[in-house]
């Protein structure tokens, strides 16, 4: 599952900084990687998007950037990725609890 492969339609043009953030530090998992490795990588990407949204918001608030729409897009990307991560976490915990309830 690729989380941030195509976040934006092609007709939306973003600044180079925001395009770099949208692409993130995405790298395909290798064949031998485990679920834990992939999850750690995705958590790192979510953290990266959260920090980028914070920087974009700070720049707009201090007047360094006048691109309010890009700051809002960065915040929405971060929010969406965090919601997805929380959903995956909740499903993993639910699956663990279901397994622990199984009779032996």
Indicate whether this model's pTM tops 0.75: no
Is residue 6 situated within a structural domain?
no
39-78 pLDDT, tens digit per residue, is: 899 999 999 999 999 999 999 999 998 889 999 999 999 9
User: Residue 45: what pLDDT?
Assistant: 93
With respect to residue 100, please indicate whether it lies within any of the assigned structural domains.
yes
Is residue 88 assigned to a domain? yes
Provide DSSP, 5-51. Answer: SS-S-TT----HHHHHHHHTT--PPPTT--HHHHHHHHHHHHHHHHH
The answer to whether residue 35 is domain-embedded is no
Structure tokens at 29: 């998992």
Give residue 94's domain range: 50-104
66 within a domain of the structure (yes/no): yes
Q: Rg of the chain's alpha carbons, rounded to an integer?
A: 17
For residue 8, is pLDDT > 50?
no
99 inside domain: yes
Could you tell me if residue 87 is inside a domain? yes
Using DSSP's 3-state secondary structure scheme, residue 67 falls into: coil
* 36 in any annotated domain: no
């Amino acid at each position: 599952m690729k989380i941030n492969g195509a976040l934006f339609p092609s007709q939306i043009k973003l600044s180079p900084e925001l395009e770099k953030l949208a692409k993130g530090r995405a790298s395909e998992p290798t064949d031998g990687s485990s679920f834990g490795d992939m999850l750690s990588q995705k958590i790192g990407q979510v953290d990266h998007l959260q920090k980028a949204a914070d920087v974009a918001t700070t720049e707009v608030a201090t007047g360094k950037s006048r691109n309010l729409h890009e700051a809002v897009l960065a915040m929405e990307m971060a929010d969406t990725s965090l919601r997805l991560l929380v959903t995956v976490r909740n499903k993993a915990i639910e699956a663990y609890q279901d397994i622990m309830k199984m009779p032996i």
